[in-house]
Structure 1
């Protein structure tokens, strides 16, 4: 049994598990039942697990794409640890479960991974970097040359429109009252 600590504040981390089950048993194991039973959550020993972030992959369904390439493209995995594990990852057969940090719902918890899961590795996702150069205009620093809302001139057209709609509503109510 593998023990693992999940820090509730972590982000940009992906955990890869091999699932040692026959294909016909995978869906039942990885899908949360309407009664709340979820064998995957039990096998992880997780207190909290969000199904929307659980990625179950049949390696056969990837076709010509290798599993490591799928992980690099779909989960933006990089780094030396990932590069060193690529041959081992690509040698896997059957199904894998991919759990990004979000799958644990930002809850600090200790996992006790049990069969049919086998932990393969924990990897880092590429962190988003800003696109383009830093903004240098005065408005980007929070200053503008335009007057703020407290000094902006009032829009008379909007005021007249609202008054007109109010009068129209009163006239319709009066007509309905007389007809009834």
Structure 2
């Protein structure tokens, strides 16, 4: 029996488990029943588990893609430990359960992994790289002094200025008339 601690604030970790069951028993084991029974959760010893983040993979269904390539592509797994275990990962047969950090619902818990699960390894996910934050559109160029190409402060049309001045005068006249009639 393997024991591992899950930190509720953890992110970026993917855990790989081999599932030693016949193909016809996989769905019953990995699917939560309407009664709440969930053999996968029991075998993990998990208090909280989110079904939406559980990836159960039949290695045979990957066809020519290796399991390590699937982990790298679908779960962005990387790192030296992962590279060192690729041969062992690709030698697995049958079914595996892949659990990213989100599967534990940000809940600190101690897992006690039991049969038919066998922990293969925990690997780090590739983190998203920030994009270049520079702005490249013409309207984004310029300075705070109004040298840019757009926005309310860049109104240069004389007709628009006259319309705005006329609207302001009209509003002031309406207010003056309303005050005169009211007083």
**TM-score bracket relative to the smaller structure:** 0.7 to 0.9
Poorly superposed stretches of 4+, deviation over 2 Å: 133-137, 143-148
TM-score, normalised to structure 2, is: 0.75
Q: Which residue of 1 aligns with 2:85?
A: 85
Give the CA deviation at 1:144: 9.1
Q: Deviations over 1:8-56 (max 9, x none)?
A: 1011100000000010000000000011110000000000000000000
| CA distance in 2: counterparts of 1:147 and 1:13, whole angstroms | 47
Question: Are 2:141 and 1:118 equivalent residues in the alignment?
Answer: no
Question: Hey, what does 2:101 align to over in structure 1?
Answer: 101
How far off is 1:130 after superposition? 1.4
**C-alpha separation in 1, matches of 2:152 and 2:35:** 58
* TM, length-normalised to structure 1: 0.76
Matches within 5 A, 1:21-170: 21-131=21-131, 133-135=132-134, 146=151
Q: CA RMSD in A?
A: 2.2
Counting matched residue pairs gives 147
CA distance in 1, matches of 2:67, 2:7: 26
SS at match of 1:112: strand
Q: Secondary structure at the match of 2:4?
A: strand
Cross-structure match for 2:161: none
* Cα-to-partner distance string for 1:50-102 (whole Å, 9 max, x where unaligned): 00000000000000110000000000011100000000000000000000000
Helix, strand or coil at the partner of 2:36: coil
- Which structure has the bigger radius of gyration? 2
Task: Tell me the SS of whatever aligns to 2:123.
Answer: strand
